Amino acid sequence: MNIGRGATQQSSAPYNRRLVLDFIRQHGAASRKDIQEKVSLSPQTVANITNELESIGLIVSRRQKDLKTRGQPPIAFEINPDAGQSIGISLEPGRASGALVNLVGRIDARFEVQLQGCDRPQLLAGLLELVANLRRQANARVWGIGVALPGPLGDTELSFVGPTALEGWKDLSILDQLQEATGLPLFHSVDSVAGALGETLYGVARHLDNFFYLHLSMGLGGSLIVGRNHYRGADGNATEIGHVPVVPGGTPCYCGNQGCLERYLSLHSLAEALGMDDGQIRTPDLLDRLDDANDQPLQQWCQQAAQRLRDAICMIENLLDPQTIVIGGSAPQKLVRRLVELAQPLHRSVRGRPAPQLPRVMISQREEDCSLLGAAVLPIHELLSPRLQGVQKDDLGDMQAAELLGHRPANGGRRI
Ligand SMILES: [Zn+2]
């Protein structure tokens, strides 16, 4: 697969470096010749970039084996899994889960804290405990912290309202305090964007350029990936699908509208239907109840949620024509699979065809780790993935990879 075209301008060095790193990561191992041919960079540029990446330890080289060619076999480059670790934090109402993740997406340690209320000192203390615990277990350089949290973010009418968002939070200045106290670079993004990035780098979307990611957690979010980048919209809140009204005069939503999709399709709506607190919904008991055909409240919720999912899939496909829709988030995989089964047959849409190359819907294989891994990706992603808009805006233009390792952005960390 041709993953992109190298740029030739002087200011495009960071872009080309990410392009080369992403190519190596995607293929597991790649020679200079592979990179030149597929990424369309000159031999000299590829040599310079691979030398640089090797010198700072991000990639390692080895002689390829099993090649029936004469002379010396070519050198292949691989991502160095021990080049560092990063901390991913997934913030949801009532809890923060964290993981220490290495450069190739292996989870080396986990920790979770309960976060009650919105008392700032208590929240900060909980997050610091989480980071300190993970840092103690690190055995390589910790590059930074990535935080995934429910959207939308910023000054919008829908930000920080309702039980599926971080209700009561006024802004993200607590993340500035976390960055200050830990001394680590911190990046944050909406959880659906982090999840989609995780799927792009390590999950079922590894070989996809264009897909829609549906993030089914306490609330419902979405992310559109185009050319391996997410579509941001004007203010970074694109595809906030949970608050699209789908039922005229339907269930009131905490956003002030009625009949929003996530009032029918989210773990919060499931907890409501079962008369449980949100915090009780992740018990193993729920998975057993799924097998009980006589459990009316649960089976009825699944039926209605599946019909909303069926409509949502058709809406997404006809609006955006993605290669596929990947469903991830903190909802248990067994529950997601049930909903997808009940949503069959799917509505007719522009993605319906006699011999599809890909299923119209794919389920994340990372289950609950999806958003966590995606969060940990944020600091790594800055180095690994080409971001053309970064070059165009020049906000990453002069940043060298080595500098980025020590970079300390302000204002809640840099939003991805
Ligand atoms: Zn709403």
Domain range summary for the chain, segments of one domain joined by +? 10-79, 85-194+370-389+407-415, 202-367
According to the model, what pLDDT value does residue 402 have? 41
Output the CA torsion 240→245→247→250 (10° steps): 110
- pLDDT at position 4: 47
What is the per-residue pLDDT across 17-49, written as a single tens digit (0 to 9) for each?
878 887 888 888 999 999 998 888 899 999 999
On whether the CB atoms of residues 324 and 208 are closer than 8 A, the answer is yes
Q: Which two tokens stand for residue 221?
A: 């979010």
Is residue 162 a contact partner of residue 103, using CB atoms and an 8 Å limit?
A: no
In terms of DSSP H, where are the helices of 343-400? 369-384, 388-393
Select the CATH number that applies to the domain covering 10-79 from these four: 1.20.1250.20, 1.10.10.10, 3.30.70.20, 1.10.10.60: 1.10.10.10
SS3 414: strand
- How many A from CA of 243 to the centre of ligand 1? 4
**Ligand 1 center–CA 241 separation, angstroms:** 9
Rounded average pLDDT over 137-157 = 88
Q: How far is the CA of 224 from the centre of ligand 1 (A)?
A: 20
Mean pLDDT of the chain: 84
Q: How far, in Å, from the CA of 254 to the mean position of ligand 1?
A: 6
**What's the pLDDT band for 400 if we cut at 50, 70, 90?**
very low
Instruction: Give the predicted TM-score (pTM) of the model.
Output: 0.84
- Evaluate if residue 403 carries a pLDDT over 70: no
> Exposed (0-12), middle (13-18) or buried (19+): which is 6, by Cβ within 10 Å?
buried
How many whole angstroms from 6 Cα to the centroid of ligand 1? 42
The pLDDT value given to residue 382: 66
Given this model, what pLDDT does residue 3 score?
44
Quote the ligand 1 centre to 331 CA distance (angstroms).
19
- Whole-number Å distance, alpha carbon 216 to ligand 1 midpoint, is 15
pLDDT tens digit sequence for 325-361: 999 998 999 999 999 999 999 999 999 988 888 999 9
Examine the pLDDT at 15 and tell me if it is beyond 70: yes
Q: Identify the weakest region by mean pLDDT among 10-14, 324-328, 387-391.
A: 387-391
By mean pLDDT, which of 54-63, 254-263, 298-307 is the weakest?
Answer: 54-63
More confidently predicted of 369 and 274: 274
Q: What is the pLDDT of residues 194-219, one digit of tens each?
A: 999 889 888 899 889 899 999 999 99
Q: How many angstroms separate the alpha carbon of residue 161 from the centre of ligand 1?
A: 9
Name the one residue in this structure whose structure tokens are 């944020």.
378
Distance 240 CA to ligand 1 centre (A): 10
pLDDT tier at 120, thresholds 50, 70, 90: confident
Q: Say whether pLDDT at 71 is over 80.
A: no
Hey, which CATH number is domain 202-367, 3.30.420.40, 3.50.50.60, 3.40.50.720, 3.20.20.70? 3.30.420.40
- Cα of 30 from ligand 1 centre, angstroms: 47
Asked if pLDDT for residue 392 goes beyond 50, the answer is no
Cα–ligand 1 centroid distance for 256 (angstroms): 6
Give Cβ neighbours of residue 249 (< 8 Å, ≥ 6 apart): 258, 259
- The answer, yes or no, to whether residue 397 has pLDDT greater than 60, is no
Confidence tier at 289 by pLDDT (50, 70, 90): very high
Q: What are phi and psi of 93, to 5 degrees?
A: -55, 125
Q: Could you tell me whether strands 95-102 and 85-92 are parallel, antiparallel, or unpaired per DSSP bridges? A: antiparallel
Q: Tell me the CA distances in angstroms from 312 to 179, 305, 327, one per residue in order.
A: 38, 10, 12
What's the mean pLDDT in 158-173?
A: 78
Burial of 301 (0-12, 13-18, 19+ CB in 10 A): buried
Q: Count of alpha carbons within 13 Å of 272, Cβ hemisphere only? A: 15
Cα 28 to averaged position of ligand 1 atoms, centre (Å): 42
Which is higher by pLDDT, 92 or 370? 92
pLDDT beyond 60 at 169 = yes
pLDDT in tens, 336-346: 999 999 999 99
Closest residue by Cα to residue 374 from 154, 215, 250, 142: 215
* Extended beta strands in 160-219, E state: 186-190, 210-216
Q: Is the dihedral of CA 373, 268, 159, 260 positive or negative?
A: positive
pLDDT at 6: 52
Average pLDDT score over residue span 176-185: 94
Distance CA 353, CA 260 (A): 30
Question: What confidence tier does 404 reach under pLDDT thresholds 50, 70, 90?
Answer: very low
* Cα–ligand 1 centroid distance for 259 (angstroms): 7
Nearest to 18 by CA among 60, 43, 62, 52: 52
| CA 17 to ligand 1 center in whole angstroms | 41
Alpha carbon 108 to chain centroid distance?
Answer: 18
Element (H, E) at 205: none
Mean pLDDT of 370-382: 79
Equal CATH topology for 85-194+370-389+407-415 and 202-367: yes
* Residues around the ion ligand 1 (C-beta < 5 A): 243, 253, 255, 257, 260
Ligand 1 mean position to 245 CA, how many Å? 7
CB-count burial class (<10 Å; 0-12, 13-18, 19+) for 148: buried
85-194+370-389+407-415 CATH fold: Nucleotidyltransferase; domain 5 (3.30.420)
- What is the rounded distance in angstroms from the CA atom of residue 43 to the CA atom of residue 48? 9
Q: Are 374 and 205 in contact (CB under 8 A)?
A: no
CA 187 to ligand 1 centroid distance, Å: 27
